[in-house]
Amino acid sequence: MITLLLAVGVVAGVGWYLRGGPPLLDLNGCTAEVGGVVVDLDTEQAENAATIAAIGVRRGMPARAVSIALATAYQESKIRNLDHGDRDSLGIFQQRPSMGWGTEEQIQNVRYATNKFYDELQKVDGYESMRITEAAQIVQRSGFPEAYEDHAEDGRALASALTGYSPHAFTCEVDDVDGMDEQDLNPAGLTPRAAKVRRTLERAFGSQSLGGFAPGGVQDGHQEGSAHYEGRAVDVFFRPVNAENQRLGWAMAQYLVAHAERLDIATVIFDARIWSARHSDDGWRTYDPGEGPGDPAVRLHRDHVHVDVG
């Protein structure tokens, strides 16, 4: 009997996963909590949601546009980059090659699919003031035009966090980073993992004001034992310190947390808060570097996002 129950459980779990549910044994995941609304995502969903939001930020789209995109992705794919769908529908928004959305390969690239969605959304006059489901339906032309509204509340909460309007409202639990990065530095002075983080950020958000690394390695200017001295850290500057730059900094900081597992990120610090893989179950904690020389805004990382890898 026990063997039979286990077999049934495995079959049910596989069926759930194939229908788009998260892997049942994946205990890691992410949470956004905004205004009493709690949204739980697995790692794949979190990475895709953060990418959708980052592209919206890069394009200067309002948070409302990101809410619409996220609610649409929820309905169409559970925010998963699917390789199947109704008829020839594919990808995170279930776009169809036969309807002119692009090739199969293009549509299954989350960045491409998201940009195509925003391209069409921007053509919708007055989408900012429409109900989310109405704007989504004009873009998607679904057979279930009211279905997007089921995900409007979650879409708004996620968008508020991932576009930076709700600081430290998005966090992930991940495994601690496995081992240390290779110590061979690239010509910019970064280890392979740190270089990958830099490329990922600029691919998502565009060209950034970067620091904390130098050809041949950084020799001074940071606390003793800093990952900067080993080429494992990147700083992204948001100056001057003002409300808009704080929002953009939080959008990037929470994007990094969403992608922490894939990128082997050990630590993210911004605006006197710290997230670390080792203590990820505690979420964003207060960051206190202690007393020291220099501008307090710099020491508290109010003017830059710090990210380091294992």
Give me the chain's average pLDDT, please.
90
* pLDDT in the model for residue 246: 98
**In 3-state terms, what secondary structure has residue 95?**
strand
Q: Report the pLDDT value the prediction gives residue 54, as an integer from 0 to 100.
A: 98
Q: 6 pLDDT exceeds 80?
A: no
Each residue's pLDDT tens digit, 110-154: 999 999 999 999 999 999 999 999 999 999 988 788 999 999 999
> Could you tell me the residue ranges of all domains in the chain?
29-166, 177-309
pLDDT of residue 26: 53
- Identify which of 265, 230, 246, 256 has the alpha carbon closest to the alpha carbon of residue 304: 246
Query: Strand locations in 133-200, DSSP E?
Result: 170-173
Would you identify the CATH topology of the domain 29-166?
Lysozyme (1.10.530)
Among 137, 131, 98, smallest CA distance to 117 is for: 137
Instruction: Give pLDDT, residue 19.
Output: 42
pLDDT tops 90 at residue 225: no
Is 60 exceeded by the pLDDT of residue 12?
no
- Cβ atoms of residues 238 and 305 within 8 Å: yes
The arithmetic mean of pLDDT across residues 69-87, rounded, is 93
Helix axes 43-58, 243-258, angle to 10 degrees: 150
**pLDDT value at 188 more than 70:** yes
Distance, in Å, from the CA atom of 200 to the CA atom of 194, rounded to the nearest integer, reads 10
For residue 185, give Cα distances in angstroms to 180, 190, 215, 233, 269. 13, 5, 8, 12, 23
